[in-house]
Amino acid sequence: MARTAKGTSRAKEGPARSSVCPLGEAEAHGILQVLDRDGNVSGTLPDPGLDEATLVRLYEMLVLVRAIDERGFKLQRSGRVEFWIPHRGLEAVHVAATLAFADSDWIFLGYRHPGCMLLRGVPLLQMFAQFFGREGDPLKGRRLPTLMGDRRVNVVPMTTQVGSYIPHAAGAAWAARLRGDDTRFLVFFGDGSTSRGEFHSALNFSGVHRPPIVFLCENNGWAVSTPTSTQTATRTFAEKGDAYAIRNRRVDGNDPLAVYSVVKEAYDLCASEGPSLVEAVTYRMGLHTTSDDPDLYRDRSDVAEWEQWDPLPRTRKYLEARGFWDEAREAALWERVRAEIAEAVTAAEALPFPAPETMFDDTFETPTWLLEEQKRRLLDELEPRA
């Protein structure tokens, strides 16, 4: 029998496949939780005991991410942004997980995770420059909106090939171990990525070499239009770690305190036990992308059920019960973040597009003769238009 790490997640027998939202019966489904639907501390995990400043920062980031999503969707629908990947309902996973890591650690990003960048200090103007493909985007406008990243803050941008980057994250973590430094790694991916070979290659490698990495599977219920029941025969995604002797946990992904606790525990164990796999059970309440129509493959009543577990109201109610928040602060926060976003939109949209020849940069430290020739030909063709 393969080595089984301490605390591996084993869901108890229960109606795992029949429940639209398992968070109301979290313990029966092997899902770790701190907060109930109304923000009360009543789950299987204790309150992590974050201080007031950290809790307020966490909540403010959830709101900012939600507000960015609202504005980004409108920008796409009005034709000012070409594409959008909505993240409504998914804010808690990436914000809380990023808080559990140090800024010196590396994150391999998924595509619904603007809070990772913001928590690392990336300004809103840079974020919207990426959405508009303008100068100011460190990726020089080469990526679809929300496929962001910035090596200056140790955030690796994702690719549109889901899961293809998971082995790279595992390899980078192993390299850090070989160097003897204490850098740790966090890699986000969706449940659909666990059906790809790259996921299994990375976990097999990590089971053998034990690099300091947390694999964070964001199980939002759908791999585009493919439901979990069609995608895998296992009862959970977390238990896939058992096959590779990787410690695993299943957590309420709409509960930021639970996500923080589970990821922080995995983070702390990186040095002694190496990798962990965390399955954050959440739900994509919006579209997969703005090219998607979820009404073709799911019931709206499912969304309504999940909306009762929206991470924002749960967190706000928790803060209010602690005396850290009230209606006046709530209104002021929304007004502030919407004004900051409006300012960033105006400034980013006024920026020029990157020069066309920059598309040949950054591939090699020393450009090849072929790239240099292609660049010259492009510039020759563009010159008469100037």
Question: Is 4 a member of any domain?
Answer: no
Residue 48 lies in a domain: yes
158 touches 166 (CB < 8 A):
no
Q: Phi-psi region for residue 311, left (φ > 0), alpha (ψ -120 to 50) or beta?
A: alpha
Which two three-digit tokens encode residue 5? Answer: 């790490």
Number of H helices and E strands in the chain, helices first, is 13, 8
Q: 367 and 242, same structural domain?
A: no
The pTM of this model reads 0.92
Q: Which of 185, 257, 217 is nearest to 34 (CA)?
A: 257
- 222 falls within a domain: yes
CATH number, domain at 53? Answer: 3.40.50.970
CA dihedral of residues 81, 284, 117, 155 (deg, nearest 10): -100
Residue 210 has a CB neighbour count (10 Å cut-off) of 18
Candidates 70, 150, 128; CA nearest to 344 is 128
So what's the pLDDT on residue 159? 82
Looking up tokens 């309902």 gives: 89
> Residue 189: beta bridge partners?
217
Q: What is the pLDDT along the chain (386 residues), one digit of tens a residue?
A: 333 333 444 444 443 444 689 999 999 999 999 999 999 999 999 999 999 999 999 999 999 999 999 999 999 999 999 999 999 999 999 999 999 999 999 999 988 899 999 999 999 999 999 999 999 999 999 989 999 999 999 999 888 888 999 999 999 999 999 999 999 999 999 999 999 999 999 999 999 999 999 999 999 999 999 998 888 999 999 999 999 999 999 999 999 999 999 999 999 999 899 999 999 999 999 999 999 999 999 999 999 999 999 999 999 999 999 999 999 999 999 999 999 999 999 999 999 999 999 999 988 989 999 999 999 999 999 886 55
Can you give the pLDDT at residue 122?
Answer: 97
285 and 372 in a single domain? The answer is no
**Number of domains forming the structure of the chain:** 2
- DSSP per residue, 125-163: HHHHHHHHT-TT-TTTT-S-TT---BGGGTEEPP-SSTT
Q: Examine the domain organization and report whether 330 and 378 are in the same domain.
A: no
Q: Are residues 311 and 369 in the same domain?
A: no
DSSP bridge pairs for 214:
186, 276
The whole domain housing 247 covers 27-354
Same domain, 61 and 156: yes
- CA atoms of 143 and 258, how far apart (whole Å): 32
Residues 348 and 372 in one domain: no
Residue 303 lies in a domain: yes
Report CA Rg, the chain. Answer: 21
Residue 156 sits in the same domain as residue 246? yes
216 and 331 housed in the same domain: yes
What is d(CA 168, CA 73) in angstroms, rounded to the nearest whole number?
A: 31
* Sign of the C-alpha dihedral computed for residues 257, 263, 265 and 267 taken in this order: negative
Residues 115 and 61: beta-carbon distance below 8 Å: yes
Task: Give me the pLDDT at residue 3, please.
Answer: 38
Question: Are 181 and 46 found together in one domain?
Answer: yes
**Does 365 lie in the same domain as 306?**
no
Q: How many CA atoms lie within 13 A of 13 on its CB side?
A: 0
13 within domain boundaries: no
The structure tokens listed for 372 are 């240099």
By annotation, the residues acting in catalysis are 284, 288, 297
Indicate left, alpha or beta for 224 from its phi (over 0: left) and psi (-120 to 50: alpha). left
Q: DSSP assignment, residue 183? A: -
Closest CA to 276 of 302, 248, 243: 248
